[in-house]
């Protein structure tokens, strides 16, 4: 079976690693933070248990088999033999650019690189690599094992063959691809960050509390989750970083991040991953 190198072992990297391993891939999960790597085996076991309880499709998963297919590493060189690399590091253009420059010395000619970013231009990141035709956006949805689609993003130089391979890769993970063109935020996050930010402004302006805002979204419009629950799930730091990217790229004030969101991030209230955001979480 093919090998997938997953870079970044945060919210998304862990989910992507589990999803790939559950579908038979060998996985190398890499992160530059030794503390993150040390906590990963325990986190993955807890997550696999959670997904098995939450999804009938995952109920038959064999935890030890899945975890046995995942290796860990801090050194990018360990990814040299991977067929796919899925990059999930922090939503920061400069950090991602540095990583793609470092990957130049690691990746062979045939490796395909999937950028899992919320908003950053695929074309810009592909420009840091020697083979931009091999770079594609695969925007996985959170939580990855439970959601049915991935947004496949065609960068300026992405080849038709890379798009085809990305669609096959996504299909092999039991998901449907929706192919769109590159533009910051693509379809999903250009829309979702507007409603999450506006929901934060409603709380900021004292119009309603988080529970009321989310209840109207769910009960009034039939959405499964409210915008502030969604922001907590994504991570408020990632939401603010993504809004900053959109604001910078479009130079449009509609993307300016709500001050309450920025203040919460500064205070360490990052949502589900830190245990507190708009809501409090006993079990993360």
The reply to whether 151 belongs to the active site is yes
Residues shown for the chain: 284
Question: What does the buried/exposed string (b/e) look like for 73-111 if buried means 16 or more CB atoms within 10 Å of the residue's CB?
Answer: eeebeebeebbbbbbbbebbbeebeebbeebeebbeeeb
Is residue 116 within 8 Å of 16, Cβ to Cβ? yes
Cross-strand bridge partners of residue 28: 5, 71
Beta carbon nearer to ligand NAD, 123 or 242: 242
Is residue 81 within 8 Å of 90, Cβ to Cβ? no
Measured from the CB of residue 62, what is the shortest distance to ligand NAD in angstroms? Answer: 25
User: How many C-beta neighbours within 10 Å does residue 189 have?
Assistant: 23
Q: Kindly name the residue from 88, 116, 118, 188 that is annotated as catalytic.
A: 118
The reply to whether 168 belongs to the active site is no
Beta carbon nearer to ligand NAD, 9 or 22: 9
Residues engaged in binding ligand NAD (CB under 6 A)? 7-13, 31-33, 36, 88-91, 95, 99, 116-118, 139-140, 142, 234-235, 238, 242
Measured from the CB of residue 90, what is the shortest distance to ligand NAD in angstroms? Answer: 4
Q: Kindly name the residue from 121, 188, 189, 244 that is annotated as catalytic.
A: 189
Q: Kindly name the residue from 30, 91, 134, 139 that is annotated as catalytic.
A: 139
Q: What is the DSSP-derived secondary structure letter of residue 276?
A: B
The reply to whether 116 belongs to the active site is no
Beta carbon nearer to ligand NAD, 208 or 281: 281
* Ramachandran quadrant class, 31 (left: phi over 0; alpha: psi -120 to 50; beta: rest): beta
Q: Kindly name the residue from 87, 91, 151, 229 that is annotated as catalytic.
A: 151
The reply to whether 118 belongs to the active site is yes
Beta carbon nearer to ligand NAD, 197 or 238: 238
Distance of CA 30 to the CA centre of its chain: 15
Measured from the CB of residue 220, what is the shortest distance to ligand NAD in angstroms? Answer: 24
Which residue's beta carbon is nearest to the bound ligand NAD?
10
Report the catalytic residues.
118, 139, 151, 189
């Amino acid at each position: 079976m093919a090998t997938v190198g997953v870079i970044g072992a945060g919210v998304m990297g862990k989910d992507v690693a589990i999803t790939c391993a559950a579908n038979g891939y060998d996985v190398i999960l890499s992160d530059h933070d030794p503390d993150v790597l040390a906590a990963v085996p325990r986190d993955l076991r807890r997550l696999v248990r959670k997904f098995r309880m939450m999804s009938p499709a995952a109920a038959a998963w064999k935890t030890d088999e899945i975890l046995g297919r995942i290796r860990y590493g801090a050194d990018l060189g360990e990814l040299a033999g991977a067929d796919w690399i899925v990059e999930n590091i922090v939503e920061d253009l400069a950090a991602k650019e540095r990583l793609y420059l470092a990957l130049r010395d690691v990746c062979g000619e045939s490796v395909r690189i999937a950028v899992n970013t919320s908003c950053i231009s695929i074309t810009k990141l592909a420009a840091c690599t020697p083979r931009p035709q091999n770079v594609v956006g695969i925007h996985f949805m959170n939580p990855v094992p439970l959601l049915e689609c991935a947004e496949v993003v065609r960068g300026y130089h992405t080849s038709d063959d890379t798009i085809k391979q990305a669609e096959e890769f996504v299909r092999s993970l039991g998901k449907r691809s929706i192919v769109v063109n590159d533009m910051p935020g693509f379809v999903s996050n250009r829309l979702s960050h507007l409603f999450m930010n506006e929901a934060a402004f409603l709380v900021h302006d004292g119009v309603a509390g988080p529970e009321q805002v989310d209840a109207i979204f769910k009960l009034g419009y039939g959405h499964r989750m409210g915008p502030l629950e969604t922001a907590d799930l994504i991570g408020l730091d990632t939401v603010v970083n993504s809004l900053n990217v959109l604001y910078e790229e479009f130079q449009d004030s509609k993307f300016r991040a709500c001050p309450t969101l920025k203040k919460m991030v500064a205070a360490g209230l990052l949502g589900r991953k830190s245990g507190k955001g708009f809501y409090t979480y006993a079990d993360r």
